[in-house]
Structure 1
Amino acid sequence: MKDQAENLRRRLEARQNQTMARTIAVLSGKGGVGKSNFSLNFSISLSKRGKRVLLFDMDIGMGNIDILIGGHAPYSIIDFFENGCSLEEIITVGPGDISIITGGTGLMNLVSLDEEKYARFNEEFSSLMKNYDYILFDMGAGITHDSMKFLLCVDELVVITTPEPTSITDAYSAMKYIHSINKEIPCFLVCNRVFTSKEGKETLKRLQNAFLKFLDFETVGLGYLPDDRTVSKAVSKQIPFVLFNAEAAVSKAIMDIATRYANHSFGERLTLPKSHFLRNVKKYFLGK
């Protein structure tokens, strides 16, 4: 009886201490900057740090996660909205012990949510959020009217850029648009395909200074990834680069980024608000 009481107490304490997953949208101002590759390998890196991660491929019509891992998920979010599957049923176990949901035309289903669909989505996603530490949404390149609504729902944004001037300009424009509607959402910056550490640091600093000067908006430079041939080799083998060669420079760099993010070692200046993802979905998609 004593053991049973102790087990019950532990279960109750675990439930009380249970936290909801952070929802993170990974986006870029333009295509071709390695956004999906970052989303996949960042998810795996967080998993290697003991975090429970669900990766949601929201790149509608051009989802790359299946291609990068050399597999095809049997279900997508469409099966949840149209075929009666539960969210648990459409989850695929991915490499590095992460969970994956394929988006298909999932964003369009969210846009057309009615009260009944929202109630079902709210109930199941609430349960899902208790099972993970992070839920990452790999968004399509650029911003549409509908994807903008979704970006306003998540807890945090990770913006991917490269040192190319057009990529920097597009990343700034995307964040300017988002900031014009929501000035509170935390934003992290990652620079991909840098040739030197100096180039990576300068690119991040340039973007951060532009946000601060013109938008009065403080962002966090999360880190940068080197232009490493390991990435193209891993893509051709359809293996995430952090698993293909853990000793490669790019793999070590993304593991460092994941550690920094998971440990919140990016300064005291950023306060991460409580998650209101589902409340925001109701607000922006149902107008309530």
Structure 2
Amino acid sequence: MKDQAEELRLKLKVSEESKTPKTLAVVSGKGGVGKSNFSLSFSISLAQKGNKVLLFDMDMGMGNLDILMGNTSEYSIVDFFEGTISLKDAIINGPEGLQYIAGGSGLSHLVGLDAELADKFIQELSGLLKEYDYVIFDMGAGITDGTLKFILSVQEIVVITTPEPTAMTDAYAIMKHIHLMDSTIPFYLVINRVQSDKEGQQTFSRLSKVLKSFLGRDSACLGMVPDDRVIQQAVRRQIPFILYNEKAAASKSLKEITERYIRRHFSSKPSSNTTLHFVSKLKQFLFER
């Protein structure tokens, strides 16, 4: 009987772990590099492949996922922190089966949540995660004490940069900051607004060499997105660019990135940190004193 009970516990543990979604944070060192555009179309692309995806707009005070989709959200994460609604009530249905939670200035409360509200957030988030295959956090540009807690809790980090020297410098700075806090979380680089594949490859090569030389770590290039006029047109029309013109160069590149991410076709394989579940890590950070 004891062996059977232990076997049942192991099966339940495996079952619970199998429900754990992949958690990603999409970050950039500076604003204006197309981070939110990427987060949105990448999430939609994952959803189009039959995955259940939840996208969090974590850009404090400047959340713009609603604008990119042409939606007006009745609720946002702010309403949850103000005690108006539950976290589940903040979820909004987006295109292609994507679900998202709009951002707002109330995200600044993450820096100093009281114990009761932090516990409520953790409990409700833990219940939601089991319903999804991917949970993606579109972080604000740069880094704050509040957003750092989420970044350090996810399994993987996607870093968006462009070939511009300032964007590359800021991308390295944010990766260095994260690395010094936790050297085990994988970085996946996306080079946005490239004029050619050669320019994108050179940008990745420069960043990867700096990461290796100064931080002693490897990174993987998730892909490159061309500087495509379709993206600007889609923004003006308030339609995600992957839906605005699926045959555009940027849309095709995005789909290739999604396929590469899912299949893990990388030239290098960063180490993964699966020691702690996302919620467990986040809980530690939110309750640390």
Return the TM-score normalized by structure 1: 0.90
Assess, with a 3 A threshold, how the Cα gap between structure 1 residues 210 and 17 changes in structure 2: closer, same or farther.
Answer: closer
Per-residue deviation, 1:267: 5.0
| Conservation of the 8 A alpha-carbon contact between 2:184 and 2:271 | no
Assess if the C-alpha contact under 8 Å between 1:49 and 1:259 holds in 2: no
Show the 5 A alignment for 1:72-221.
72-221=72-221
Q: C-alpha displacement at 1:30, in angstroms?
A: 0.6
Q: 1:236 to 1:209 in 2, by over 3 A?
A: same
Match of 1:9 in 2: none
Instruction: Tell me if structure 2 keeps the 8 A contact 1:58–1:140.
Output: yes
Decide whether the 8 Å contact of 1:149 with 1:284 is kept in 2: yes
Cα deviation for residue 158 of structure 1 reads 0.6
Amino acid at match of 1:231: I
Please give the alpha-carbon distance, in whole angstroms, between the structure 2 residues aligned to 1:228 and 1:144: 31
Q: Does residue 1:280 correspond to 2:281, yes or no? A: yes
Identity percentage of aligned residues: 50
Aligned counterparts of 1:99 and 1:109: Cα–Cα separation in 2: 23
Corresponding position of 1:254 = 254
d(CA) in 2 for partners of 1:119, 1:31: 31
Deviation per residue, 1:222-281 (Å, 9 max, x gap): 000001111011111100010011111100100010111112222563343325222222
Q: Give RMSD over aligned pairs.
A: 1.9
Do structure 1's residue 36 and structure 2's residue 36 form an aligned pair? yes
User: Runs (4+) of structure 1 moved beyond 6 Å?
Assistant: none
Partner of 2:58: 58
Are residues 1:225 and 2:222 paired? no
Gaps of 5+ in 1: 1-11
| Closer/same/farther in 2, CA of residues 216 and 228 from structure 1, 3 Å limit | same
The answer as to whether partners of 1:58 and 1:106 remain within 8 angstroms in 2 is no
Aligned-pair distance for 1:96? 2.1
Q: Cα–Cα, structure 1 residues 14 and 243, in superposed 2: closer, same or farther, change >3 Å?
A: farther
- CA contact under 8 A between 2:92 and 2:99: conserved in structure 1? yes
Cα distance in 2 for residues equivalent to 1:262 and 1:112: 36
Total equivalences in the alignment: 277
Residues 183-223 of structure 1 deviation map (CA, whole Å, 9 limit, x = unaligned): 11111100000010111111112111110111001111100
Query: Structure 1 residues 13, 269: CA separation in 2 closer, same or farther (over 3 Å shift)?
Result: closer
Q: Distance in 2 between matches of 1:144 and 1:121?
A: 19
User: What is the distance in 2 between the residues matched to 1:105 and 1:155?
Assistant: 26
Q: What letter matches 2:180 in structure 1? A: S
Residues 132-181 of structure 1 show CA distances to partners (whole Å, capped at 9, x for unaligned) of 11111111111223322332122211110001111111100111111111
Q: Is 247-256 or 73-82 further displaced after alignment?
A: 73-82
CA distance in 2 between partners of 1:74 and 1:16 (Å): 33
Distance in 2, matches of 1:239 and 1:14, equals 40
**Residues 158, 188 of structure 2: 8 Å contact kept:** yes
Unaligned 5+ residue runs, structure 2?
A: 1-11
SS of the counterpart of 1:89? helix
Change (3 A) 1:286 1:13: closer
Residue deviations 1:41-100, cap 9 Å, x none?
010011112211111101111111111011111011122222342222110001121001
Tell me the TM-score normalized by structure 2: 0.90
